[in-house]
A and B are shown apart, each in its own frame.
Chain A
Amino acid sequence: GAGVSQSPSNKVTEKGKDVELRCDPISGHTALYWYRQSLGQGLEFLIYFQGNSAPDKSGLPSDRFSAERTGGSVSTLTIQRTQQEDSAVYLCASSLDSQGLYGYTFGSGTRLTVV
């Protein structure tokens, strides 16, 4: 597609429920990143995919968080047993190459609210 697409744009969930956030990167972009932006905070790195593998998942805050990427394209970030502190905007970005020489394109994000 023309840009990075994320869905849903907004998600309200009850504490303890599982949620799935989807990212559809720009076609042909081999690298994909997930970030989290909490209210009034900067961007916190979560995980990086090169193709379907994740060389760096150091930013995942707990084992409740997992992500996968299939077909070198769409990625899903799953949060199990959501907690109120998981409330944030989850941003996805993709880049043409793993070095970012051509820049990184961000989606509009998924605003997650855990009640």
Chain B
Amino acid sequence: AQSVAQPEDQVNVAEGNPLTVKCTYSVSGNPYLFWYVQYPNRGLQFLLKYITGDNLVKGSYGFEAEFNKSQTSFHLKKPSALVSDSALYFCAVRSTDSWGKLQFGAGTQVVVTP
């Protein structure tokens, strides 16, 4: 079984401040981890993924995430948030022991104020 938890429904941050969106996971094998962003009335856009290798993953639009195996976390970060980063963010996991589907978290709404 696999599951993802995004403990915050909404994160509010002022433009220019650091942004963190939290994600923890549970899988029976090694995880493949993903972050996606969804803008209003749009599909999901890929930000970054962790498959193997370096624990710090850099992705699109200045976002990065750190894989922490001991804490089973994969938090998304951006050093300086922009108003245009306001969107719905989803963390997803897939176990290497299973085939196919991604398990998504419930999503975190990010609101960046000017």
Q: List residues of A whose CB falls within 8 A of some B CB.
A: 4, 31, 33, 35, 41-43, 45, 48, 50, 55-56, 59, 91, 93, 98-101, 103-109
Q: How far is the CA of A99 from the CA of B94 in the complex (A)?
A: 8
- Does B46 contact A105, Cβ atoms closer than 8 Å? yes
Q: A106-B43, A107-B43 are in contact. Are A42 and B32 (CB under 8 A)?
A: no
CB within 8 Å: A-B pair count: 62
Assess the B90–A91 pair: CB atoms within 8 A: no
- Measured in the bound complex, the distance between the Cα atoms of B36 and A80 in whole Å is 31
User: Distance in Å from the Cβ of A7 to the closest Cβ of chain B?
Assistant: 13
Report the count of interface residues on B (CB-CB < 8 A): 23
A45 contacts across to B, CB distance below 8 A: 101-104
Q: A43-B44, A104-B102 are in contact. List 9 more A-B contacts (CB 8 A).
A: A42-B105, A48-B100, A48-B101, A55-B100, A101-B32, A104-B46, A105-B46, A106-B44, A106-B45
Contacts of B94 in A (CB 8 A): 99-100
Q: Is B99 an interface residue (CB 8 A)?
A: yes
- With a cutoff of 8 Å between Cβ atoms, the chain A residues found around residue B32 in the complex are 99-101
Q: With both chains docked as a complex, state the minimum distance between the C-beta of B50 and any C-beta of chain A, in angstroms.
A: 11
